Structure 1
């Protein structure tokens, strides 16, 4: 967006202009919109002055600034072949507009135009009414999954190059979101599966995201049917991972290919997937399931006296043990990590689960005394009561009696509980083929995977860029909506990086949202239309820094003099 001044009929006005590519005409088309007078404000009679509203500046402008730095709209439009409403916004403009709306004022697509009109900075010279829900859904049915994938890779390359992101370590994880799609509505994405929200009455859409180590910026994502498996999702990403690998090398201007590492949790373990990642050019770092044979051997080694040793530097509170062994037929380094925070959380979970299990076991004892339960039913309910939080490993149960007159004896074995806390609780087993890395580097790299979970919390309802509640009814709309949501997460993450402060993403967006201008209408006592002026507020030190970084004075010159 280019802003300049022009004189019309003896008065100067500020004008915004943009150039967009018209695929039908095969040439660029210019758009212009008048922002307002550029002349000094006239003297006003304060007695005849009143406010007529406010306009947001900070949060929307910050995200538009990031989008401009990445040339986001152009990258998306090129990847999607110029798809867009005739005479209206392109797919890139729509996607970025929805992304900014999700980050600043989450709401339905029918409110998108109104949201854009209530903000002083403009994403496009088109009026807000052009950004309608109907335009979004029409465009969504034209865009293919392959085009959105190409757009992701191009945007990731631009983000790494412009903001100098370190992408040598990439973390991957998955989640899913509830939809409100009726069971009879056709579609491939919304399926009934294991919902993270614990609801069983809604169809869900899966989302897998790959983020950078620095800034935790989303670089690649996949939507998948809600009943799909985690391993299948990552396997389906391998093609995109290979393209991303090459694009990041290009974005970082590397002469030789980088040695990148993919970090993920135990739900993605598969020997074949390990080999496939190696073929795609990635090293692997994963948290093995504790029930895995290699993990159990590593835990036994770590339980020996003196095996666990404290790390140095920022990880001095962490203890770890290391061993190089074979996992199946793969040569791997295993690191057992002890986390006091994880241990405390698991102890709380065990205590809560044990209280519930004791209530259930005493209830079963009462049913036995009354002769109202069979032995097979008794065993089933006991196993179910002890299935959570390692309870079966230290709650000892003994069944006896006949099918019609069973008996049950149980007790909590304190020695077994202490052994569990000593050998398993609070511990993770990390598995990697990065044999040359130090133990501290392996542990630090895995901690980045937790940031993906934080990213998902931002995308859940009430988060910084919520995915839902979503009322999309077709696969195309779901894909474009998810693309815009992840795009919003990227914009927020980069907007957090740009000022160079220690504030969180939520704190950054809240501070930016407070930067507004008040519109006042006054009279000069002369003939003509009453002018509307903008008054700036008092700014904090952080907000003044944001004014400079995000160039807010382009849209509200008054802020520069506050």
Structure 2
């Protein structure tokens, strides 16, 4: 920290600003700036006052936090949380709802740990947007407030938030997308937790404990309607079985009355019990994918029976002269899960060529290894004399490359090792490549409608990708050590994710949430202190075109250094 330093030379006093630092056991000068004598310092101040220059100036980040504040006025998460959780005995400082707001606003803008939140808000113009004593925004205060939030409270908050979000939407949802992901934690093995468990990590962090999240979004807007946290070792189909009955009232309740609705999900959720629940709900339909390996007859239908789909992507490929890359489809029916379903098989030529190249590369890699192993077997090298051991190594190699061990046949006749490709197995695998199977009970839908709805599942995947972004939301990694805090953390992240998506909708999809936040973070306010003023003067910088467009979408504009409602 800089400080004033006085020197007396030949009876005269001179003033400096200097900063020191400790190096080992000695204090050394870091830097020093000469100010002058007391008279010259006073003269400089007088000159500054006469010229109208301020005594002090500061800049603070304004735009992004202001956008979050405007969204909060629309969503009223503070009021919702406070109505459900209530006020604690002798509670002081910000309410529980305000703590949630300051958490999700930060997650939406520039995610920081609760420990770093206080310093982050000190550098934002929070006192000029939504005044708060930032000294209260400490990690200790967060844990104290969140200790009062139960799992039942969080379920009520979720229900109230999504109900409020969808009450005023101009177009009710009709098709829903559901998928799951997981987030890794650094929670120690011995720390008790029902949520944080070791399982298959979708971020390849298999050695760490995971927390799962299931998310239901509207197909048209990508806005969420429901989410559920679950143990990281739970299979997707088991989760779907547990939450489907909770999701049905959300889907039918938010949709237009007396209109059928459809939920789209991945093959990982397929199970007879899950489909039975959907079949038993009038007006609810589904679209799911199905593994070609479990429906080889239909997936192996000749491409001559496939037709070019009339979808925008194929039209764009045709315009570019890439007719050979267009998506093809074959439609039929089959009995699955106790009923006749409509089945659509699609063929993607681009994906087919990619998979063929990948398979050939892997087969060549396996062949090179087998040649090496055959030499070692022939020479009787140590650990390479047992056919059983070599066969076991071969299967392990195939598993690591994610290919079937049936593509090569090994034999050890007459004391010699041999191997050959099984062309029949490889040919059968080639027939399934580039194929995707979609199953639905929407028998009256066009083939194009079914395919487009199934392909739109990327929208919920994009939401997961946004939730794992290092720039915004950033659920990963979870630095919380109790299930109750993990659930509170997930709620704040979902609120932030919703806020970003609302901003994208308000600018009509012209900019991504990431671009909006990055631009708005660079919209600063200038705070000046002048002699005689009781309070500082605050002025907003002139916004650039993107910043002005975002402000306009929120209903505001900057005029003469002030943010005014349009």
TM-score by length of 2: 0.80
* Residue in structure 2 matched with residue 298 of structure 1 by the alignment: 298
Q: Which of 115, 132, 139 is the aligned partner of 1:133?
A: 139
Asked whether the 8 Å contact 1:350–1:389 carries over to 2, the reply is no
Are residues 278 and 82 of structure 1, via their aligned partners in 2, closer, same or farther at CA, if it must alter by over 3 Å? farther
Q: Which of 272, 282, 285 is the aligned partner of 1:283?
A: 285
Q: What are the equivalent positions in structure 2 for 1:31-42 lying under 5 Å apart? A: none
How far, CA to CA, are the matches of 1:227 and 1:162 in structure 2? 38
Asked whether the 8 Å contact 1:310–1:320 carries over to 2, the reply is yes
Asked whether the 8 Å contact 2:107–2:473 carries over to 1, the reply is yes
* Residue in structure 1 matched with residue 33 of structure 2 by the alignment: none
How far, CA to CA, are the matches of 1:359 and 1:534 in structure 2? 71
Q: Which of 525, 545, 549 is the aligned partner of 1:545?
A: 549
Are residues 378 and 313 of structure 1, via their aligned partners in 2, closer, same or farther at CA, if it must alter by over 3 Å? same
Q: Which of 457, 468, 475 is the aligned partner of 2:483?
A: 475
* Residue in structure 2 matched with residue 365 of structure 1 by the alignment: 374
Q: Cα offset for 1:556? A: 9.3
Q: Cα offset for 1:90? A: 3.2
Asked whether the 8 Å contact 1:154–1:247 carries over to 2, the reply is no
RMSD: 3.1
Residue-by-residue CA offset, 1:457-476 (whole Å, 9 max, x unaligned): 22225253210232101110
Asked whether the 8 Å contact 1:315–1:440 carries over to 2, the reply is no
Q: What are the equivalent positions in structure 2 for 1:165-314 lying under 5 Å apart? A: 166-249=172-255, 254=256, 256-280=257-281, 282-292=284-294, 295-301=295-301, 303-314=302-313
Asked whether the 8 Å contact 2:293–2:432 carries over to 1, the reply is no
Q: Cα offset for 1:365? A: 2.4
How far, CA to CA, are the matches of 1:169 and 1:511 in structure 2? 33
Q: Cα offset for 1:433? A: 0.8
Asked whether the 8 Å contact 2:542–2:558 carries over to 1, the reply is no
How far, CA to CA, are the matches of 2:240 and 2:463 in structure 1? 18
* Residue in structure 1 matched with residue 460 of structure 2 by the alignment: 452
* Residue in structure 2 matched with residue 383 of structure 1 by the alignment: 395
How far, CA to CA, are the matches of 1:111 and 1:84 in structure 2? 27
SS at match of 1:360: helix
1:486 aligns with 2:488: no
Q: What are the equivalent positions in structure 2 for 1:299-338 lying under 5 Å apart? A: 299-301=299-301, 303-316=302-315, 317-338=326-347
How far, CA to CA, are the matches of 2:112 and 2:99 in structure 1? 15
How far, CA to CA, are the matches of 1:91 and 1:343 in structure 2? 53
How far, CA to CA, are the matches of 1:429 and 1:51 in structure 2? 67
Residue-by-residue CA offset, 1:329-381 (whole Å, 9 max, x unaligned): 12211111223453355345435544543443334223322323211111122
SS at match of 1:387: helix
Asked whether the 8 Å contact 2:173–2:220 carries over to 1, the reply is yes
Asked whether the 8 Å contact 2:182–2:232 carries over to 1, the reply is yes
SS at match of 1:189: coil
Q: What are the equivalent positions in structure 2 for 1:49-128 lying under 5 Å apart? A: 49=54, 52-81=57-86, 86-121=91-126, 124-128=130-134
Q: More deviation in 88-97 or 176-185? A: 88-97
Asked whether the 8 Å contact 1:190–1:204 carries over to 2, the reply is yes
* Residue in structure 2 matched with residue 3 of structure 1 by the alignment: none
1:514 aligns with 2:516: no
How far, CA to CA, are the matches of 1:289 and 1:205 in structure 2? 26
Q: Which of 440, 444, 459 is the aligned partner of 2:448?
A: 440
Asked whether the 8 Å contact 2:345–2:438 carries over to 1, the reply is yes
Q: Which of 525, 528, 535 is the aligned partner of 2:532?
A: 528
How far, CA to CA, are the matches of 1:85 and 1:488 in structure 2? 30
Unaligned residue ranges in structure 2 (runs of 5+): 1-47, 316-325
Unaligned residue ranges in structure 1 (runs of 5+): 1-42
Q: More deviation in 173-182 or 367-376? A: 367-376
Asked whether the 8 Å contact 1:54–1:519 carries over to 2, the reply is yes
SS at match of 1:291: helix
Residue-by-residue CA offset, 1:207-259 (whole Å, 9 max, x unaligned): 1111111231222111111111111211221242133135414xxxx4x2442
Residue-by-residue CA offset, 1:103-127 (whole Å, 9 max, x unaligned): 2111111222333343335675432
Are residues 84 and 98 of structure 1, via their aligned partners in 2, closer, same or farther at CA, if it must alter by over 3 Å? farther
* Residue in structure 2 matched with residue 8 of structure 1 by the alignment: none
Q: Cα offset for 1:323? A: 0.9
* Residue in structure 2 matched with residue 153 of structure 1 by the alignment: 159
Q: More deviation in 387-396 or 545-554? A: 387-396
Residue-by-residue CA offset, 1:301-333 (whole Å, 9 max, x unaligned): 3x2523233324455442211112211412211
State the number of aligned residues: 503
Asked whether the 8 Å contact 1:210–1:219 carries over to 2, the reply is yes
TM-score by length of 1: 0.81
Are residues 504 and 529 of structure 1, via their aligned partners in 2, closer, same or farther at CA, if it must alter by over 3 Å? closer
Q: Which has the larger radius of gyration?
A: 2
